[in-house]
Amino acid sequence: MTSQPTPPKAGSGHASPGGHGSGLQAGLKNRHLTMIAIGGVIGAGLFVGSAAGIATAGPGILLSYALVGTLVVLVMRMLGEMSAANPTSGSFSAHADRALGGWAGFSIGWLYWFFWVVVLAVEATAGAKILSGWVPAVPQWGWALIVMAVLTATNLASVGSYGEFEFWFAGIKVVAIGAFIVIGLLAVFGVLPGVHSDKAGLGNLTGHGGFLPHGPGAILTGVLLVVFSFMGSEIATLAASESEDPQRAVTKSTNSIIWRIGVFYLGSVFVVVALLPWNDKSVTDKGSYVAALDSLGIAHAGQIMNFIVLTSVLSCLNSGLYTASRMAFSLGERGDAPRAFARTNRRGVPVTAITASVVFGFVAVFFNYKFPDSVFLFLVNSSGAVALFVWLVICFSQLRMRKIIQREAPEKLVVKMWLYPYLTWAAAGLIVFVLGYMLTDTEHDGRETVLLSLLVAAVVLVIALVRQRARGGRAAVAARSGSEAVENVPVG
């Protein structure tokens, strides 16, 4: 009897290099993965959204960032444990599929894809506003199309071209925010040559109404405003499957998440609230980082920050398209999306998955310009809480996956979740608490965001359960047909 070749494991995202449809290729270098991991935690939301958080919680916004940052560190540790043991293009969706069932992998995979294709439209519009301010001859919608088209071409070229673009985008962000922190700290301690600010000083942390001018409750409100700026930390675990040493890449990015969040989020926000009083009108009028630079008398602060924000927007667009397409690829591999999504060209690029993702992104851009206060607002709000859903699924997947890995391949536990299972349950409890608290928030649209996101999640979940039931029925029919065929075979 001739032995049959073992089929590749679904969701692995790996295949031998070669001809058409050979699977994803190892086209990302170590320097690409390093910058993708570092840049993934620096989103445009940090530069744009921090002003609202500071106005709401005062200097206490540092506690909001610290609380969410701690949660992200725990969740990424869990994801790192699973992804180091089994690097895959589907990341947490593939892990949920195995640990919790096909319904979980299907649901969270499609919700995550939906989140990122909506982000494409949001970021394209944000970038278009900046570019049209510089070159008003081209309308905003024109710039949005140009930006989307350029980055689509980049992703279609090869995974290496995506990595190269992201390397430079992330590099600019890292250098800019690093320089901001250094210059800001020198100014806060009064040792910046040629610069003297009457407003800068550590007294801003406790003056002007105290560290918590609006009371302790403002910390939780601040959490609602900053939690979504952390989305993107998980991209490195998806990209690792297309690197030469996925396990090493995942381990490295997981171990460095603490200092990345500590420096880029807590460090930069600390500088902002130390340079200016939290209630300074310029913080909300100009944006926290622009106002901070202006207070130091740095010329063209607004344009400098616009350039940095544009870089962050392009980085987010680039990564968003990559992430959405790889999730679509993984869903296609597992039979949860059209099989065409899992096909790649000779360069290992999932062309259909990228095209489908960008088409929805273009449609969302159209809705943003045609129906900004109805259809597009619904899309944004209905995807807003997906980050928390993803993190919650990661928690429950890790609780089951740890046992599976220990039973089948304990040597693959090169990254371990701390104090398992207690910290996992604590993280899950905190996420549920934040979702519950959002339901009480009417001032910042927290309730609407959660309810609409739950509605979309419920629709996707129902589709997943119906598909799973239908698959089970077909499998049972096939099994019965097979057994009847065996029984009817003549003996002798």
pLDDT one-digit tens code per residue, 334-377? 999 999 999 998 888 999 999 999 999 889 888 888 888 888 88
In the structure encoding, which two tokens stand for residue 396, read together? 């429950």
Residue 109 contacts by C-beta under 8 Å, 6 or more apart in sequence?
A: 90, 93, 96, 97, 327, 330, 331, 336
Residue segments in the chain with a per-residue pLDDT below the cut of 70: 1-22, 40, 194-197, 473-492
| pLDDT per position as a tens digit, 218-246 | 998 888 888 888 888 888 888 888 888 88
Tell whether 5 is covered by a domain: no
Structural domains counted in the chain = 1
Q: 243 phi and psi, to 5 degrees?
A: -110, 170
351, 156 in Cβ contact below 8 A? yes
Tell whether 454 is covered by a domain: no
Tell whether 15 is covered by a domain: no
Tell whether 463 is covered by a domain: no
Matching residue, tokens 């494409």: 120
- CATH number of the domain where residue 207 is located: 1.20.1740.10
Tell whether 59 is covered by a domain: yes
Tell whether 343 is covered by a domain: yes
In the structure encoding, which two tokens stand for residue 361, read together? 């992104």
Residue 273 contacts by C-beta under 8 Å, 6 or more apart in sequence?
A: 54, 58, 59, 61, 62, 204, 205
324, 113 in Cβ contact below 8 A? yes
> Residue 97: its pLDDT value, please?
93
Return d(Cα 185, Cα 112) in angstroms, integer.
Answer: 38
253, 80 in Cβ contact below 8 A? yes
Tell me the one-letter amino acid at 485.
Answer: A
Matching residue, tokens 């071409």: 153
> Residue 131: its pLDDT value, please?
93
Return d(Cα 486, Cα 488) in angstroms, integer.
Answer: 5
Q: Which residues pair with residue 243 across a beta bridge?
A: 28
Tell whether 231 is covered by a domain: yes
Return d(Cα 60, Cα 481) in angstroms, integer.
Answer: 66
329, 13 in Cβ contact below 8 A? yes
Tell whether 432 is covered by a domain: yes
Residue span of the structural domain in which 83 resides:
30-366+386-441
